Amino acid sequence: MSAPTYDLGKLHGGLRLQGHKTTSTAAAIQHVPLPDVLVLPITQHVGDPAQPVVGIGEKVCKGQLLAQADGSLSAPVHASSSGTVVAIEPWPVARRLGENAPCIVIECDGEDRPMDNLEATPNFLELSPDALLDRILQGGIVGLGGAVFPTAQKLMQAVSCELDYLILNGVECEPYISCDDMLMREYAGEVLSGAQILLHALQIDVCYIAVESDKPIAIQCLVDEMAKLGDERIVLKQVPTIYPSGGEDQLVQLVANLEVPTSGLPSDVGCLVQNVGTASAIHDWIVNGEPLVSRITTVTGDGIANPMNVAARIGTPLAAIVAFAGGYTDNAKQLILGGPMTGKSVTTDRVPLVKATNCILVLSEPPAIGAEMPCIRCGNCADVCPIQLQPQQLFWHACADDESKLRLHGLTDCIECGCCDLVCPSHIPLTANFRTAKARFQELADEKARAERARSRFEARNARLEREQHERDSELAQQKTTAKRAGPAEIAEILKRSQKKQDDD
């Protein structure tokens, strides 16, 4: 029962990339010592920033709530260790937009003192599914695969649909990243327990754990744990090592053989995808009462002296983690958060580790690629596109800034995996173009919304002015008719009143 199965759907395109994962998986997960200062951004998730609930100078314990979820899409932030809040100020962070973001800075006291009253529920079946979802919301748990979508909101959205499958994503298809691999090797029990919690919260009976074929040790660990657990609802599926099979929609296609509709969600076809790291974090929170305050991350690349996987507290500055991994080598040139395909490069290692950071990649000088040449319409990009888009056509329309054509050709479905860049014989940075075009869509939509708002306010104002004028006119007419009908006595009265008013002024 617990041996991995292989019945899979078919994924279009994709690439077999060199993994570069063996160096970082040679040793067990190492624990980074507590840093002196922890820097916790209040936005570590997709959605609205969390609202700080602590003041400067306040003493906090490990796991204490620092900022609470605010708005319909948000996640709370907890203290990663005990210490004193010394500042709430902008700090360099790794985000897609903007360089500095408000952060809560904690000076650690080194005691790592936990909260007194941990709310642990080892027997999670006691909790109703709704109560479980609510608990997950409070744990600050977000999708740890890199998208950092607040998990509770994802689950709440999903339970409103008819669900068939829970899919745990252990497919770490991007080169260099190996944190989920190491997590499954060392914490397979936690992952499975997280899967059981999710199955209970969602009230469904099938969970597929998808793992790539290049992780035999992780698969073996999961198989062993599953044999111990004996839960027939959980099935292991081995998927081929093709980038980007770990993308959410791609994994649904592979594992459940269902296609997620354009601008739809996996829940539209009855699937819910969660990263294995998220499942393990849910276990830690529900069963042990520990909120998401640390994560496993891969420190690797040819710019790192001892590549390895580390468990570090959220908020640890990257410099401390890099130093722990032996520091930079002499040829270290670029620092990237995430993988080489979809990661974001940062300019300083003062940036803290956040919930999204699955990899700290330090690379030497990138190999020189040729200069950009005109598109020769070879169609290689269309062959590898996992969404079956026509990148060459999209590029054409992106150059012309033609929004309607771009939408028609499905730009909004592009997952920016970067496969088309790699195969382009003309070295056209296609993904960068698409990213710019998407940002432009947003800009245009904002502009349109602003114009619409200004127009409605302008029209409302004109209507108001007209109404006021009308009211004044009718009042004047009223007064005129009254004056006409008035006799001499009333006129004398009115004159007296107006004289008195003038005297008063």
Partner 1 sequence: MTAVMTIAGLALLAGLALSYAYRSLPAKSSDLVEQVNDLLPQTQCAQCGYPGCRPYAAAIVDSEVAINLCPPGGDETVRRLADLLGKDVLPLAEQRAESRSVAIIDEERCIGCTHCRTACPVDAIVGAHHLMHSVITAECTGCELCIAPCPVDCISLQDVA
- Scan residues 178-197 and list those touching partner 1 (CB under 8 A): none
Report d(CA 419, CA 473) in Å as an integer: 70
CB 393 to partner 1: min, Å = 21
Output 1 or 449, the one with its CB closest to partner 1: 449
* DSSP characters over 210-260: EEETT-HHHHHHHHHHHHHH--TTEEEEEE---BTTTSHHHHHHHHH--PP
Output 164 or 402, the one with its CB closest to partner 1: 402
Cβ-contact 277, 144 below 8 angstroms: yes
| Cα-Cα end-to-end distance for the chain | 97
Instruction: Give the phi and the psi of residue 240 in degrees, each rounded to 5.
Output: -65, 155
* DSSP characters over 365-391: SPPPPPPP-------HHHHH-TT---H
Output 125 or 460, the one with its CB closest to partner 1: 460
- Scan residues 271-290 and list those touching partner 1 (CB under 8 A): none
Output 348 or 462, the one with its CB closest to partner 1: 462
Instruction: Give the phi and the psi of residue 213 in degrees, each rounded to 5.
Output: -70, -15
CB 457 to partner 1: min, Å = 4
Residue listed under structure tokens 């754990």: 209
Task: Check whether the bond before 4 is cis (ω within 30° of 0).
Answer: no
Report d(CA 149, CA 47) in Å as an integer: 8
Cβ-contact 411, 438 below 8 angstroms: yes
CB 443 to partner 1: min, Å = 11
Residue listed under structure tokens 């302008």: 458
CB 462 to partner 1: min, Å = 8
CB 101 to partner 1: min, Å = 14
Report d(CA 74, CA 44) in Å as an integer: 9
CB 68 to partner 1: min, Å = 25
Number of residues that bind partner 1 (CB under 8 A): 12
List, in order, residues 6 or more apart from 400 with CB less than 8 Å away: none
Per-residue string for binding with partner 1, 6-35, x by CB under 8 A? ------------------------------
Output 31 or 448, the one with its CB closest to partner 1: 448
Output 454 or 483, the one with its CB closest to partner 1: 454
SS3 405: helix
- Scan residues 443-462 and list those touching partner 1 (CB under 8 A): 447, 450-455, 457-458, 460-462
CB 310 to partner 1: min, Å = 36
Cα dihedral sign, 158-163-166-169: negative
Output 233 or 457, the one with its CB closest to partner 1: 457
Output 95 or 135, the one with its CB closest to partner 1: 95
Nearest of 289, 281, 290, 291 to residue 121 by alpha carbon: 289
Give the CA-trace dihedral at 338, 342, 346, 350, to 10 degrees. Answer: -20
CB 284 to partner 1: min, Å = 39
Cβ-contact 146, 44 below 8 angstroms: no
Ramachandran sector of residue 388 (left: φ over 0; alpha: ψ -120 to 50; beta: rest): left
Cα dihedral sign, 350-352-353-356: negative
CB 438 to partner 1: min, Å = 18
Per-residue string for binding with partner 1, 405-444, x by CB under 8 A? ----------------------------------------
Output 372 or 447, the one with its CB closest to partner 1: 447
CB 458 to partner 1: min, Å = 5
- Scan residues 457-486 and list those touching partner 1 (CB under 8 A): 457-458, 460-462
Output 451 or 477, the one with its CB closest to partner 1: 451
Interacting residues with partner 1 (CB under 8 A) = 447, 450-455, 457-458, 460-462
